[in-house]
């Protein structure tokens, strides 16, 4: 299979609203308006229950014929398995508390219903259901530094211990479909729930009441970056800092992998400028990084480079690189001193920005 979207009983585990041409691999079930969480969960293939079962080793085969009495060995660990087909999703400890897919999706749909600017647009499962996710598109206009963006709320959880339940803001730059997590601009706009604690929808819902503020914070940050000059020599240092390459390092002292990454980042910068973004700004440099992570960065493992890159960019090391790219421009004092006009961190934002960030959610229409 050329993709990581789960397929159970011949159905691809993804459901969507909108144009099929905009959907990953053009797969899945198109959802009509007005569908509830149960219909979405069934269409997205996430209506299963995650069940904890005892992990055991079967020693009854011919390789263990010399054993007299011990035939099975139970461990302290547990497997999380799907209720519908028994597929194991992950090996976990006894303290692990699985978050039920349909329950999380129902909560997510209920949460976004509190603000009529959001609409559930995609839900699905990756691999065999180890990762599930849903997004809700923000219907308001979000133009950041002259670039049109599509803002979304992203919910994801895992059953293989690769991540907690995460709810956060994300932005898609429409011109080339590269993304960056808006939560990196405002840490309040991300909530993580550990799997060894019970999922408390009411508590998480209260914490996520600030999610829209992350969109405004990201817009303010992007506009500020577009006004911040970064000459080519500083952009070069930015990419080196991102890759942990010393500024004064000679080529012979840098690994071939990092040199290749550095070259790819510079090419992504050129492509970003050709797409129409003003050159020599912090905003262009940041978009070059997100473009590189989403489209060009090499990955390891997985059934294809595209799918592995998607997982990395959204949930793994690629997402971490995007976060580091923002932090270098906003909170790293050593690097900020190299720029023409250091960006102001959001902890010290001016009154106008603070006013934007305190805007309440819209009441849902009746």
Is the residue at 90 inside a domain?
A: no
Max mean pLDDT range (67-76, 108-117, 143-152):
143-152
pLDDT at 355: 41
pLDDT at 204: 67
Q: How large is the average pLDDT for residues 29-35?
A: 89
Is the residue at 69 inside a domain?
A: no
Q: How far is CA 201 from the centre of its chain?
A: 20
The pLDDT tens digits for 238-285 are 999 999 999 999 989 999 989 999 999 999 999 999 988 889 999 999
Is the residue at 187 inside a domain?
A: yes
240 in Cβ contact with 246 (< 8 Å): yes
Q: Which two tokens stand for residue 53?
A: 């079962």
| Residue 160: Cβ-neighbour burial (10 angstroms; 0-12, 13-18, 19+) | middle
Q: Count other C-beta atoms under 10 Å from residue 204's C-beta.
A: 20
Q: How large is the average pLDDT for residues 163-170?
A: 79
Asked whether residue 238 falls in the same domain as residue 188, the answer is: no
Q: How large is the average pLDDT for residues 45-52?
A: 92
Q: Count other C-beta atoms under 10 Å from residue 106's C-beta.
A: 17
Q: Does 335 have pLDDT greater than 90?
A: no
DSSP 182-232: GGGT-GGGEEEE-TTS---HHHHHHHGGGHHHHHHHHHHHHHHHHTSB--H
Q: How large is the average pLDDT for residues 98-123?
A: 85
Using alpha carbons, list the distances in angstroms from residue 215 to 74, 88, 182, 237: 49, 37, 6, 28
- Cα(174)–Cα(60) distance, integer angstroms: 57
The two beta strands, 29-30 and 14-16, are parallel
Domain boundary among 168, 188, 211: 211
- Domain count of the chain? 2
Does the model's pTM come out above 0.85?
no
Q: Does 181 have pLDDT greater than 70?
A: no
Is the residue at 164 inside a domain?
A: yes
Q: Count other C-beta atoms under 10 Å from residue 2's C-beta.
A: 9
The two beta strands, 118-126 and 14-16, are antiparallel
Asked whether residue 178 falls in the same domain as residue 298, the answer is: no
Q: Does 72 have pLDDT greater than 90?
A: no
Asked whether residue 16 falls in the same domain as residue 160, the answer is: yes
Is the residue at 123 inside a domain?
A: yes
Residue 151, by phi and psi: left (phi above 0), alpha (psi -120 to 50) or beta?
beta
100 in Cβ contact with 50 (< 8 Å): yes
Q: Does 159 have pLDDT greater than 80?
A: yes
Asked whether residue 178 falls in the same domain as residue 254, the answer is: no
Domain boundary among 184, 211, 238: 211
- Structural domain including 145 reads 7-48+97-211
Q: Would you place residue 45 in the very low, low, confident or very high pLDDT band (cuts 50, 70, 90)?
A: very high
- Residue with structure tokens 């397929």? 7
Asked whether residue 300 falls in the same domain as residue 320, the answer is: yes
- Helix, strand, coil percentages in the chain from 3-state DSSP, rounded to 5: 40, 25, 35
Is the residue at 352 inside a domain?
A: yes
Asked whether residue 232 falls in the same domain as residue 200, the answer is: no
Q: Does 342 have pLDDT greater than 80?
A: no
Is the residue at 238 inside a domain?
A: yes
Asked whether residue 311 falls in the same domain as residue 331, the answer is: yes
Rounded to 5 degrees, φ, ψ at 83 are -75, -25
Asked whether residue 137 falls in the same domain as residue 22, the answer is: yes
Asked whether residue 251 falls in the same domain as residue 123, the answer is: no
Q: Does 8 have pLDDT greater than 60?
A: yes
Residues contacting 163, CB < 8 A, separation 6+: 131, 156, 157, 315
Q: Would you place residue 349 in the very low, low, confident or very high pLDDT band (cuts 50, 70, 90)?
A: very low
Asked whether residue 147 falls in the same domain as residue 26, the answer is: yes
Q: Does 307 have pLDDT greater than 60?
A: no
Asked whether residue 319 falls in the same domain as residue 197, the answer is: no
Out of 47-51, 150-154, 187-191, 305-309, pick the least confident.
305-309
Handedness of CA 84, 86, 90, 92 (dihedral sign): positive
Domain boundary among 180, 211, 242: 211
**Average of per-residue pLDDT values in the chain:** 77
Q: Would you place residue 95 in the very low, low, confident or very high pLDDT band (cuts 50, 70, 90)?
A: confident
Is the residue at 148 inside a domain?
A: yes
Q: Would you place residue 183 in the very low, low, confident or very high pLDDT band (cuts 50, 70, 90)?
A: low
- Residue with structure tokens 């497997």? 79
More confident residue, 177 or 39: 39
Asked whether residue 253 falls in the same domain as residue 288, the answer is: yes
């Amino acid at each position: 299979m050329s993709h990581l979207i789960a397929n159970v009983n011949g159905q691809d585990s993804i459901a969507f609203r909108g144009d099929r041409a905009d959907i990953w691999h053009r797969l899945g079930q198109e959802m009509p308006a007005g569908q509830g969480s149960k219909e979405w969960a069934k269409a997205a293939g996430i209506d299963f229950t995650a069940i904890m079962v005892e992990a055991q080793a079967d020693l009854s085969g011919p390789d263990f014929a010399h054993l007299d009495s011990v035939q099975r060995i139970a461990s302290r660990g547990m497997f999380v398995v799907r209720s519908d087909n028994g597929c194991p999703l992950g090996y976990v400890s006894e303290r692990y508390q699985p978050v039920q897919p349909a329950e999380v999706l129902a909560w997510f749909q209920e949460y976004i219903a509190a603000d009529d600017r959001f609409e559930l647009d995609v839900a699905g499962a990756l691999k065999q259901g180890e990762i599930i996710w849903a997004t809700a598109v923000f219907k308001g206009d979000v133009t950041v530094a002259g670039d049109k963006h599509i803002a979304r709320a992203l919910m994801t959880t895992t059953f293989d211990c690769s991540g907690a339940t995460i709810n956060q803001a994300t932005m898609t730059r429409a011109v080339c479909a590269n993304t960056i997590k808006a939560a990196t601009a405002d840490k309040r706009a991300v909530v993580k729930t550990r799997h060894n604690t019970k999922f408390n929808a009411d508590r998480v819902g209260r914490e996520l009441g600030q999610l829209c503020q992350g969109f405004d914070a990201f817009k303010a940050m992007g506009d500020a970056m577009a006004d911040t000059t970064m000459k080519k020599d500083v952009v070069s240092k930015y990419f080196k800092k991102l890759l942990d390459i010393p500024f004064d390092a000679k080529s012979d002292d840098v690994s071939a992998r990092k040199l290749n990454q550095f070259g790819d980042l510079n090419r992504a910068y050129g492509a970003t400028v050709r797409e129409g973004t003003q050159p020599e700004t912090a905003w262009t440099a940041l978009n070059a990084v997100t473009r590189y992570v989403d489209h060009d960065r090499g990955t390891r493992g997985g059934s294809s480079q595209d799918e592995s890159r998607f997982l990395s960019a959204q949930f793994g090391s690629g997402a971490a690189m995007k976060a580091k790219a923002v932090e270098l421009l906003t909170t790293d004092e050593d690097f900020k001193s190299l720029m023409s006009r250091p960006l102001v961190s959001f902890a010290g934002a001016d009154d106008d920005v603070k006013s934007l960030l305190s805007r309440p959610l819209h009441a849902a229409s009746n």
